Amino acid sequence: MERLDAFMARANAAYYATHDPFRDFTTAPEISQVFGEILGLWAAVVWQDLGAPDPVLLVEAGPGRGTLMADALRAIRRAMPAFHAALRLHLIETSPRLREVQGAVLPGAVWHDGLATLPQMPLILLANEFLDALPIRQFVRRGDTRMERYIEDGRFVEVAVCESEPPFPLAGGEASSLPDGSILEHNESARALVTALAHRLTTHQGASLFLDYGPAVSAPGDSLQALRAGKPADPLGPLGEADLTAHVDFAALAAAARTAGAAVHGPLPQGVFLTRLGLFQRTGVLARAQAPTRAAALMAAASRLAEPDRMGRLFKALALSSPQANALPGFA
């Protein structure tokens, strides 16, 4: 019998070790180069607002194929060469296979398994669809008893939670008022990461930007999903064959970051954030230099990222910064 978070961590480690995840799902940087370019320019403006620290860490957590960072660095080099010269590129990635893919497009990068080993200096961190891959726990309300979901022989089983466990986690909500059978999710790894990052931002200047999918307000429900070859699959199916993710609980992460002393910006719908940062203007400029079919594809890609019924509303942007930092671009 294995707790869901342990199972999810094992399943995703097996998945990322053996698969090119981008055959199974498409992420924003793979949809449009403008996504990474805009995030690079966001980082450049933040760097200037921080007083142009040199050296500064530019970190990406979960860089996938390295596309976002390659696009970001290209835009940074053009728009702000001084930032390009000052930045030290560090990547948080556990998959040896993806580290190799990233190394081919991001020469000079330094890899880490987590935040703890990053050098102590000012930092700007970007992460797209990273938090959703971190393992969750699921609790179930059964009358007055709290149960937790484990996996046994390929099926979910419920086990009573020890009295010593903290109460049902639900940021801003009363779990006891939920209907019987309600599922509450808790992402300990994501909270630990955000808390550690927030602590760092109180001792070193900086900011970090997370883009991911999930509701702005914590809500009960089972959001565990598996994607295999672009289609929903059974999360408890063959281990390592599908990508497992869950909704990011932005309210819980924002609360954890505030408690640890960081300033919190957002969450904002991704469409609002990218539009404010000039997604359509930049795409328009790029499209004008292209043949009509390519230009139309670029505009369609931008719409897919920003329109509310596509990725514009379910996806959110959440940023943390040092408590004394000004408003961040796109959030003001």
Amino acid type, 36: G
CA dihedral 114, 116, 117, 119 (to 10 degrees): 120
Amino acid type, 28: A
Nearer CB in complex with ligand SAH: 87/92: 92
Q: With beta carbons less than 8 A apart as the criterion, state whether 236 and 198 touch.
A: no
Nearer CB in complex with ligand SAH: 130/331: 130
Q: Write out the residues near ligand SAH by the rule CB under 6 A.
A: 12, 16, 21, 27-30, 62-64, 68, 92-95, 98, 128-130, 133-134
Minimum CB separation of residue 305 from ligand SAH in Å reads 12
Minimum CB separation of residue 64 from ligand SAH in Å reads 3
Nearer CB in complex with ligand SAH: 50/127: 127
Nearer CB in complex with ligand SAH: 134/305: 134
Minimum CB separation of residue 155 from ligand SAH in Å reads 25
Helix or strand holding residue 124 (H, E): strand 123-128
Minimum CB separation of residue 54 from ligand SAH in Å reads 26
Could you tell me the CA-to-CA distances from 136 to 4, 45, 78 in Å, in that order? 7, 34, 40
Nearer CB in complex with ligand SAH: 50/109: 109
CA angle 121, 213, 307 (to 5 degrees): 110
Minimum CB separation of residue 94 from ligand SAH in Å reads 4
Nearer CB in complex with ligand SAH: 207/325: 207
Minimum CB separation of residue 29 from ligand SAH in Å reads 5
Q: Tokens standing for 10? A: 């094992």
Could you tell me the CA-to-CA distances from 18 to 12, 14, 183, 248, 278 in Å, in that order? 10, 6, 31, 25, 37
Nearer CB in complex with ligand SAH: 43/98: 98
Minimum CB separation of residue 132 from ligand SAH in Å reads 8
Residue of 248, 243, 185 whose CA lies nearest to 211: 248
Cα–Cα dist 261/70, whole Å = 32
Cα–Cα dist 227/310, whole Å = 17
Three-state DSSP state, 145: strand
Token pair 């914590």: residue: 218
